[in-house]
Structure 1
Amino acid sequence: MLDRIEASGELRAGLTGDYKPFSWEAPEDRFEGLDVDMAKALAEELGVRLVIVRTSWPTLMDDLKAGKYDIGMGGISVTEERKADALFSIPLLTDGKAPIARCEDAKRFQTLAEIDREGVTVIVNPGGTNEKFARANITRATLLLHKDNATIFEEIAAGRADVMITDAIETRIVAREYDGLCAVNPDAPFTQSEKAYLLPRDGAWKTRIDAWLAQMEESGGKVEIFEKWVE
């Protein structure tokens, strides 16, 4: 992998562009977010140019195995299923699944039992850990798949869905951007999981990425980027 990157002069970072604060599409087909800045820092460290490769949660693993990108970024959760086909960097942070709902309904959805009831519509984006969690835990409520994660919260705000269970870090960001939506107990999520960078099965590449992340931690560069995007 390092040979390919050096020979081509480019780092290909796979991003979905639909998950704040990690990556999302800005006007004029521009990507912004925490992991966009981290990808830029990595490309600079390697002395190559950054190329952002658009991927999606349903195609994330297939795109990696097809060699479409060198590093998957953008808030990827570490799972045993993904580890069967890929490597992960050292963890970036620990997070967990938590609800977001209209503020008027927040008290109704404090627990999974209160969410998983007839008459409640739970909305979820397909292909990632959000869908996996919802399918494992939602059996009585109506489960609504919404393919566009960038607009999924508009469905809750408009009353076409009641609640979404996603990563707590995202609920905090979205609650600040949508009047009337509230993160529900983001400091006490239903689960605990690590987020890290997704890598092909190349030990030398993982060693290089882990060393860069350790350097970013020691220099304060990682903290500076995180504080820019996560208040």
Structure 2
Amino acid sequence: MRKILGALLGLWVALPAWSADQALWEKSTLNRILARGELRVGLEAGYMPFEMRDKKGNIIGFDVDIARLMAKAMGVKLTLVNTQWDGIIPALLTDKFDVLMGGMTITPERNLQVNFTDPYIYIGQTVLLARKHEHTITVYSQLDDPRYTIATKLGTTGEIAARRYMPKARIKSFESEADAAMEVRNGRADAFVYDMPYNVVYAAQFPDALVHLKEPFTREALGWAVRKGDPDFLNWLNHFLRQIKDDGVYDALYKKWFENTAWLQHVAN
């Protein structure tokens, strides 16, 4: 009888915890994705080689290929939600999409609003320099001078780095990385501060106009962002990331987008 009473008491104690876990799962983004049959991924097309448009208007890139694998693993269709960068976290928080995969740097300030997965790639800030400065400027610190104008993208870690490491220079912030880089090509700015992967690709496109100072002067971890209070979805994403890194799929995609520039011929100008 004591054993029976003990077992019943244990079950009675466990039931509330099980009910709470079940309620959490039912509210989970992952559960709703499976029920909906659709994974909605938020990003901003224009961040080479993570996400950009091809000549047919389709969004392609490193993040997009990973998102397709993610949707396939879930057995659902993929929908890409192109979103302006300055509103991308609010869009996630208001359920415009399920996960933010737009190459976002993990920062304490952003982490107050969203939860991040484990880092899926590490990058750093570098400088695209107007070719006229090729023989006079060789390191980023030389740009910390009121004679120089630095272009960067509004609301990014590139803008933060430019203001932190080059406070004496004139900083011009733009809505898109393409507009900011164009400012240097057109001679209206001396340098462009932005993420190394983008700068590598952009410099390869315009070697006559730009010089890439390839040594990063920051180190940043990029992660996928999800809404807070969703441990099941965060757990699944971290395991998915670990799996594609372990089985070689991640490395193959990295080589495709970061070590090979054949895809550039398909990108819209």
The reply on whether 1:197 has 2:187 as its aligned counterpart is no
The count of corresponding residues between Structure 1 and Structure 2 is: 229
Query: Using the alignment, how far apart are the partners of 1:40 and 1:21 within structure 2?
Result: 16
Q: How does 1:1-231 map onto structure 2 within 5 Å?
A: 1-180=29-208, 181-184=210-213, 186=214, 188-201=215-228, 202-231=230-259
Residue aligned with 1:18, SS: coil
Residue aligned with 1:64, SS: helix
1:119-166, Cα deviation, whole Å (9 max, x unpaired): 211001112212222233332221112223233322211211110111
Contact kept? 2:106, 2:223, Cα under 8 Å: yes
Query: Using the alignment, how far apart are the partners of 1:224 and 1:175 within structure 2?
Result: 23
CA RMSD of aligned residues (A): 1.6
Residue aligned with 2:78, SS: strand
Query: Using the alignment, how far apart are the partners of 1:52 and 1:93 within structure 2?
Result: 20
Query: Using the alignment, how far apart are the partners of 2:109 and 2:57 within structure 1?
Result: 31
CA shift, 1:114, in A, is 1.1
Query: Using the alignment, how far apart are the partners of 2:243 and 2:67 within structure 1?
Result: 14
TM-score by structure 1 length? 0.93
Query: Using the alignment, how far apart are the partners of 1:84 and 1:17 within structure 2?
Result: 25
> Structure 1 stretch 18-27 or stretch 36-45: which is displaced more?
18-27
Query: Using the alignment, how far apart are the partners of 2:43 and 2:52 within structure 1?
Result: 8
Query: Using the alignment, how far apart are the partners of 1:108 and 1:19 within structure 2?
Result: 29
> Structure 1 stretch 134-143 or stretch 79-88: which is displaced more?
134-143
CA shift, 1:5, in A, is 0.3
Residue aligned with 1:165, SS: strand
Q: Percent identity?
A: 28
> Structure 1 stretch 43-52 or stretch 130-139: which is displaced more?
130-139
Contact kept? 2:63, 2:102, Cα under 8 Å: yes
Whichever of the two has the greater Rg, that structure is: 2
Contact kept? 2:152, 2:181, Cα under 8 Å: no
Query: Using the alignment, how far apart are the partners of 1:98 and 1:168 within structure 2?
Result: 5
1:52-73, Cα deviation, whole Å (9 max, x unpaired): 0112221121111111111111
Query: Using the alignment, how far apart are the partners of 2:155 and 2:95 within structure 1?
Result: 19
Contact kept? 1:171, 1:182, Cα under 8 Å: no
Query: Using the alignment, how far apart are the partners of 2:134 and 2:121 within structure 1?
Result: 26
* Aligned residue type for 2:109: E
Query: Using the alignment, how far apart are the partners of 1:137 and 1:148 within structure 2?
Result: 21
The aligned residue for residue 12 of structure 2 is none
Query: Using the alignment, how far apart are the partners of 2:78 and 2:211 within structure 1?
Result: 35
Query: Using the alignment, how far apart are the partners of 1:70 and 1:18 within structure 2?
Result: 20
Query: Is the alpha carbon distance of 1:178 and 1:88 closer, same or farther for their aligned partners in structure 2, counting shifts above 3 Å?
Result: same
Query: Using the alignment, how far apart are the partners of 1:113 and 1:30 within structure 2?
Result: 39
